[in-house]
Amino acid sequence: MFISLWDFFYGNFFRYWMKWILRQMTGKCELQRIFDTYVGAQRTYRIEHSLTYSKNKVLQEATRVVQSEIDKCVEDIMKEKNIVSEKDVSFKICMKACLLQISGYKQLYVDVENERKKPYDSDNMHHEKLLLKLWNLLMPKNKLKARISKQWGDIGFQGDDPKTDFRGMGILGLINLVYFSENYTTAAHQILSRSNHPKLGYSYAIVGINLTEMAYSLLKSEALKFYLYNFVSGIPTMEHFHQFYCIF
């Protein structure tokens, strides 16, 4: 109850009057003050917060803008806030950069979610080739004798058919495993070797799929925003998600 009353008071009275007072003192709107004060992830995060809680419809809708309409959106914001390019030459550049990151993060979540929802399909040749590629990357000297085989246990799958282990994360789990094994092959071989330790061993593939689930959860909860807003100056993409998975 207390939190609800505070949110109402802050959102409807305190924040409004603080913004008004600061504008009178500085001659700049909240967005301009954020650009003057913050950089990196802090800047984009605060811009997103300011737009989200603005009472101005144009500013609110800016957080949902598609990438093809960002330039027009920036112009609309400047018009609404009476910002003149000649007086604030950096505003347009900074706002566009922030909106690219904000819209990019939302699109990235959609892309990752789409891959997660795709179940592994043994009748899909692309899925099958991807699975075989994982084996060849991790076990280049050992030929896979059959599609369904106890050999899969050598790289950390639980059963004779790996497809059953992808139920939670769908094809996304396999994509991450292949990406890491292909781009960090030496590290992947070292980790796989350690996973076979007689006392301290672990299931390589299962751990990799669990890491996919953790990375996905961070993306979904938006806890990954600060990392991506700092790491990516433009639009966050699937490539950046895979990179995060690899260093996670």
- The average pLDDT across 237-241 equals 97
Q: In this structure, which amino acid lies at residue 95?
A: M
- Of 75, 109, 79, residue with least CA distance to 221: 109
My answer on whether 134 and 239 are in the same domain is: yes
Output the pLDDT for position 28.
Answer: 86
3-state secondary structure 25-91: HHCCCHHHHHHHHCCHHHHHHHHHHHHHCCCCHHHHHHCCCCHHHHHHHHHHHHHHCCCCCCCCCCH
My answer on whether 187 and 242 are in the same domain is: yes
My answer on whether 126 and 242 are in the same domain is: yes
Give pLDDT tens digits for 87-131: 898 999 999 999 999 999 999 999 999 999 999 999 999 999 999
**How many domains are contained in the chain?**
2
Average pLDDT, the chain: 91
Residue numbers of the domain that contains 212: 118-247
CB proximity list for 25: less than 8 A, separation 6 or greater: none
Within a domain: residue 146? Answer: yes
My answer on whether 69 and 167 are in the same domain is: no
Give pLDDT tens digits for 203-213: 999 999 999 99
Within a domain: residue 147? Answer: yes
My answer on whether 236 and 138 are in the same domain is: yes
Within a domain: residue 112? Answer: no
pLDDT above 80 (res 56):
yes
